[in-house]
Amino acid sequence: MNKKYAEFSLSGKRLLLGVTGGVAAYKAAELARQLTQAGCSVITVMTESACRFVGPITFQSLTGQPVFTDLWKADKASSMMHIELSRNVDLILIAPASADFIAKLACGLANDLLATICVARDCPLMIAPAMNRKMWEHPATQRNINCLQNDGVIIVGPENGEQACGEVGMGRMLAVEALFFAVQGRLSGGLLQGKSVLITAGPTYEAIDAVRGITNISSGKMGYALAQAALDAGAAVTLITGPTCLNTPAVNQLVKVLSAREMLDAVEKVMSRKKQDIFISVAAVADYHAISVSPKKIKKTDQKLILELMPNPDILAQVAHLPEPPFCVGFAAETDNLEKNAARKRKQKKLPLLVANWAQETMGSDEAALILFDDAGKHVLEKASKQIQSRRLIEHIVQLYEHER
Ligand code: C5P
């Protein structure tokens, strides 16, 4: 665990940790330990299947608190244990949240202690889904997740990677470090409490004709992970995104665009409405657009076709050169001379922080190795999932931002 997280005091904060049936329940035990060490009071409620993976005694020993498992076997005089438990906490976190439990939550079922607590709660609910990739991709699960998001439930993860069943894909529960960060953000105001963060993400699409265009292989994963990390840190987040296939985090404002021009217009509009404290330009913005766009599909001939391109505005450079710019963070994906190009771009665009990475390794991938360039020099963030890197990056941004103001 990152030292800074462990140092962060959560004393006086109360969390109800709901554990449902999944192999990732063992990670929840480590999370319970870390949160308890940070001073948080952790009450654990386990479903029947969770108890088949990890015993209640483990959580009881790690948290020093009783563990609740049964709606009917209340060890208290009160028969209203679900109400009592749900009233006395600042946050409920379900980790791992199984496909079954997510379905239950989406329907508002209240047929066991944990589900009943969730329905009876008057505090925020955060869930960390964990399941096999096919279960995660299933239309019913996706429908349920959308439904919960609309109900204001905070969804953290899952992430991509090797699964307990041996398959590889989306559905793995977020790492303990990332979950700790998310809980800490909600419980203690967070590192970015009260700050407005504007993020651009994904590729842009520059039309050539009615059905074709120029784009790139950016997936949007880094920008979306950063949006989630900024939300978890308590920021008000606006996400301006090019076309991606990702589930959008529950940001305060979401703007979907296609071209670089549209992205610039959206950035200007957001900034004219509300001053932004931090601008993180993760989008892989196309450098050129076609001078003329055919309104019809261009017909194939056996002649050479020459496409005339004009440079696009540099959105980040424009924002960074404003008289009173937000704290600007740029990303540079390079295929060669990474450090030299990154340092040059940082100077040219007048950025306090530039994040460099190897394009071939990072674009579209779930993991990234990052090198941060700022006035103090170079900082290496060893390869990790984009979720983890986002949280590390947010921490670094906060340090620089606070130093600058
Ligand atoms: O110059 P280069 O494209 O490598 O710079 C990368 C950084 O600049 C990224 O943060 C990207 O989002 C931003 N950028 C931009 N507008 C452009 C080109 C890049 O905001 N037209």
Q: Is 167 left (phi over 0), alpha (psi -120 to 50) or beta?
A: beta
Q: In what order do the strands lie in the sheet with 154-155?
A: 67-68, 41-46, 14-19, 91-97, 125-129, 154-155
Question: Which of 240, 259, 285 is the best mutation target for the ligand 1 pocket, counting ligand atoms within 8 Å of the beta carbon and taking the most?
Answer: 285
- Name the CATH superfamily housing domain 196-290+305-404: CoaB-like (3.40.50.10300)
State the Cα–Cα distance between residues 105 and 172, nearest whole angstrom.
19
Residue 2: its pLDDT value, please?
Answer: 47
| Ligand 1 atom closest to Cα of residue 312 | 21
| Cα(306) to centroid(ligand 1), Å | 26
Of residues 32, 2, 127, the one with CA closest to residue 395: 2
Cβ 281 under 6 angstroms from ligand 1: yes
Residues catalogued as catalytic: 165
Tens-place pLDDT, residues 69-97: 987 775 555 556 777 788 889 999 999 99
State the Cα–Cα distance between residues 206 and 128, nearest whole angstrom.
36
Between the alpha carbon of residue 75 and those of residues 66, 83, 131, 146, the distances in Å are 10, 14, 32, 36
Q: How many CA atoms lie within 13 A of 174 on its CB side?
A: 30
Question: What topology does CATH give the domain 12-187?
Answer: Rossmann fold (3.40.50)
Of residues 187, 160, 172, the one with CA closest to residue 17: 187
Question: Which of 261, 282, 315, 321 is the best mutation target for the ligand 1 pocket, counting ligand atoms within 8 Å of the beta carbon and taking the most?
Answer: 315
Question: Which of 287, 316, 350 is the best mutation target for the ligand 1 pocket, counting ligand atoms within 8 Å of the beta carbon and taking the most?
Answer: 316
Are domains 12-187 and 196-290+305-404 of this chain identical in fold?
A: yes
Residue 77: its pLDDT value, please?
Answer: 54
| Cα(128) to centroid(ligand 1), Å | 33
| Ligand 1 atom closest to Cα of residue 282 | 12
State the Cα–Cα distance between residues 17 and 36, nearest whole angstrom.
11
Between the alpha carbon of residue 171 and those of residues 27, 155, 157, 289, 401, the distances in Å are 14, 13, 8, 37, 34
For atom 21 of ligand 1, the residue with the nearest CA is 314
Domain range annotation of the chain: 12-187, 196-290+305-404
Q: Look-up: residue for tokens 């959008």? A: 248
Of residues 194, 192, 251, 264, the one with CA closest to residue 223: 251
Record the tokens describing residue 20, joined without a space.
């449902």
Of residues 287, 404, 277, 282, the one with CA closest to residue 355: 282
Q: Would the CA dihedral through 316, 218, 180, 4 be positive or negative?
A: negative
Of residues 224, 227, 313, the one with CA closest to residue 265: 313
| Cα(26) to centroid(ligand 1), Å | 42
Low-confidence ranges of the chain (pLDDT < 50): 1-6
Residue 76: its pLDDT value, please?
Answer: 57
| Ligand 1 atom closest to Cα of residue 334 | 4
DSSP 174: P
Q: How many CA atoms lie within 13 A of 97 on its CB side?
A: 31
Residue 7: its pLDDT value, please?
Answer: 52
